[in-house]
Structure 1
Amino acid sequence: MAAVTKSVIPLQQCKVELIDLRGCARRSSPRPLKSHDQNDISVTVYHGDMAAIVGTPSFCLLLSSHEASNNPFFHEACAYRADRDELYMTSSLLKPARTSDGPIVLISKVKLTRNDTRAIVSVEWQKLRPPQNMPMPAGGAAYHNGVLFCSQGTLADGTGGLYYMPYGQPPEPVVTNFFGRDFNSPHSVVVARDGSMWFTDPPQGFERAFRANPVLPCHVYRYVPETGDLRVMADDLGRPHGIALSPDESTVYVTNTTAVRADGSQDLRLAATTYAFDIIKRFGSPFLTNRRIFAFSMTGVPMGIICDTRGNVYAGCADGVEIFSPGGEILGVIEVPGGVTSLFFGRSDELFLCAEQRLWLVRIGVKDDHDLLS
């Protein structure tokens, strides 16, 4: 598909509002979202530590399909390759050209061009069809000389798993089954410093009719490519979605999106929760213990999740990006129209946000490349 080049509009300052949480707790009605327009991002500060995170925040809209096709091209993955200054994202389910065909997912590659001050001045956007052996990609992570993708699979047996796509080469299967049993719909992956891959496996593919009936529970897995060690790390999660590691890799965060129904609607009586687990070692092997509720989303359901090197946790939710301290205290919200499904840090003070039909850049307060995980 042909690439589209777009000049980046100048950054605009975010409106910042300080809110006393004590007043929120006394309200008889839920906290309302700000009624800003569809091209405006604002910041709500609930805690003094939020100021150090956002500084003087600014934003710009990098890409949008809202005015043209209205297709949700910016849904998952949001994998940033610093060496090539590129972003890789996957779409939500798209309608096929022929009604007889099933839904499809496209990969977006966004090349960033910068000036001498490292500010982004233009983007080149190219939509790619996933290779046939890596159907329905979802989450991803920068890995070696390319991107590690979660493939949700199809109705065919033996599809789905983790695939490594090096630059300019076909994807290579990394792990595609649990000892002969197909995964459900691998969705989000994070790579630890020791090379192990942690990933979630919810039932979305079956619920949306492009995957066979699951033969496994909805697990969190860890896979070590060097040894082939594949193990279940956590279970009893209705719909595990996003996953992140704390900066010291002693804690795993998993978002549970049980509140999302198969048709995309939500039952907010069900879990919209981020859980934290401690990683402990026994006989040289890692185990997850002390499962606890880290945070329940203020608005909607937590989707993508990341940590910065200070241990703060950023969750993409219906109101934008909810930011929590390592202790689970709400610090503030970067409010984004339409919410955020996936997010990742770029260079210096950059935070990229996937919001279905829009790709945003938010510049926050941290000025050191090494202060953010990328």
Structure 2
Amino acid sequence: MKIRHSNPHCPTIMSFQHFHPAFEQITGPTPEIKCDLENNVYPFAHEAGVYIASKDQLFITSNRIFSEDGSQRVQISIIQLNDSTACVQEEIHPDIPMANGGVNYENGVLFCSQGTLDRPSSLIHMETEAPYKCTTILDSFYGRQFNSINDVVIHSDGSIWFTDPIYGFKQGYRQTPDLPVQVYRYDPMTKSVRMVADGFGRPNGISFSPDEKIVYVTDTDAVQGDGSVDWSRPATIYAFDIVYQHGQPFLTNRRVFAMSDNGIPDGIKCDLEGNVYSGCGDGIHVWSPGGVLLGKMLIPGGVANFCFEKPGKILALNENRLWRISFAPSCRGALLRL
């Protein structure tokens, strides 16, 4: 189903909060935040945010949608982007139960399937052309089911790194956890899967620094997932150094990188200068590589996830709205290096 949303009241805002002079190098002289798409029927713009440059398309996942019988589902959509006219949302229906985070992978999209009560949580590759063929890449830790895989990123060596909190159990669509909440690395070449970090409340977003010497993991434990919020719990970004022993990567020097002062730091990305961006309760926060809060790209209602598009462009997911942020063209995302 294709849905064209053109809302004359969908706003343009210029709300950038500066905390450090270096933020001006990121925003440039004429930054702008513009609503590109609005759908008030359901929260269509929640997670993933996978940009396909060759087609100028964005793949996204919705927040949970509840049916009258109490069942839950997530809707995957393709957004056909357009700089001059209304964007178009197309709903698609691949076999990816409770899809959440995603990343560009093997000429397609690698989605985190959180699973259901009778389907395991897994990593699923989806082709970007109809009929959107799906292939399961990984669905267990040597026979033990993952909890509800949340977010994923690809290393240049081809390995897949992902987080596994227990949101699915807390929200009633996954079984009792069979594993601790952890971060994993999967090597598709050898089929080896390793736990590489633990000690989190709710490991969520994950991203590499541009040189891949550091991995950042957000802990969103302040939001429990069952509707309760406890601001005495972590809303924190942790950083780890990646070192190699016997040809394998290990995470060392765990440290607090930053804490969100508003909401939880959910999705996380880096630019090519090493600055760290995360979707928080009042928009996208930007920190220097040293953990100094440089500024905020303010969006009412906050941002769960986002992605870099073209140079100086970010697409921000705001539940019922998709925003396009324009800032300094010199800023480019480290993930796609566009």
Normalised to the residue count of structure 1, the TM-score between the two structures is 0.85
- In structure 2, the residue matched to 1:46 is 19
| 1:1-80 matches, cutoff 5 A | 2-6=1-5, 40-55=13-28, 56-66=30-40, 69=41, 71-80=42-51
Q: Does 1:313 align with 2:276?
A: yes
- In structure 2, the residue matched to 1:166 is 127
- In structure 2, the residue matched to 1:152 is 114
Label 1:4 to 1:274 Cα distance change in 2 as closer, same or farther (>3 A): same
Label 1:9 to 1:121 Cα distance change in 2 as closer, same or farther (>3 A): farther
Partners in 1 of 2:190 and 2:303 — Cα distance?
36
Partners in 2 of 1:59 and 1:9 — Cα distance?
16
Q: Does 1:91 align with 2:62?
A: yes
- Mapped contact 2:279–2:285 kept (Cα < 8 A): yes
Partner deviation per Cα, 1:193-222 (whole Å, 9 max, x = no partner):
111111000000000010000000001001
Partners in 1 of 2:133 and 2:121 — Cα distance?
16
Q: Output the amino acid matched with 1:155.
A: L
- In structure 2, the residue matched to 1:22 is none
Partners in 1 of 2:308 and 2:203 — Cα distance?
22
Partners in 1 of 2:295 and 2:235 — Cα distance?
18
Specify the SS of the correspondent of 2:25. Answer: helix
**Pairwise CA distance, 1:100:** 2.1
Normalised to the residue count of structure 2, the TM-score between the two structures is 0.94
**Where does the alignment leave 5 or more consecutive residues of structure 1 unmatched?**
11-36, 114-118
- In structure 1, the residue matched to 2:71 is 102
- Alpha-carbon RMSD: 2.0
| 1:1-374 matches, cutoff 5 A | 2-6=1-5, 40-55=13-28, 56-66=30-40, 69=41, 71-96=42-67, 99-113=68-82, 119-131=83-95, 134-156=96-118, 159-167=120-128, 168=130, 169-367=132-330, 373=337
Q: Output the amino acid matched with 2:66.
A: K
Partners in 1 of 2:218 and 2:264 — Cα distance?
9
Label 1:216 to 1:183 Cα distance change in 2 as closer, same or farther (>3 A): same
Q: Which moved more, 1:239-248 or 1:263-272?
A: 263-272
Partner deviation per Cα, 1:85-116 (whole Å, 9 max, x = no partner):
110110111112xx225111000100123xxx
**Where does the alignment leave 5 or more consecutive residues of structure 2 unmatched?**
none
- Mapped contact 1:275–1:291 kept (Cα < 8 A): yes
Partner deviation per Cα, 1:209-259 (whole Å, 9 max, x = no partner):
100000000010011111112100100101000000000000000000110
Q: Output the amino acid matched with 2:36.
A: L
Label 1:290 to 1:363 Cα distance change in 2 as closer, same or farther (>3 A): same
- Percent of paired sites with the same residue: 42
Q: Output the amino acid matched with 2:39.
A: S
Specify the SS of the correspondent of 1:121. Answer: coil
Partners in 1 of 2:63 and 2:89 — Cα distance?
17
Partners in 1 of 2:86 and 2:189 — Cα distance?
39
**Pairwise CA distance, 1:264:** 3.2
The total of aligned residue pairs comes to: 334
Partner deviation per Cα, 1:297-321 (whole Å, 9 max, x = no partner):
0111111100001000001000111
Partners in 1 of 2:290 and 2:235 — Cα distance?
18
Specify the SS of the correspondent of 1:181. Answer: coil
Partner deviation per Cα, 1:269-306 (whole Å, 9 max, x = no partner):
11100000000001110000100000010111111100
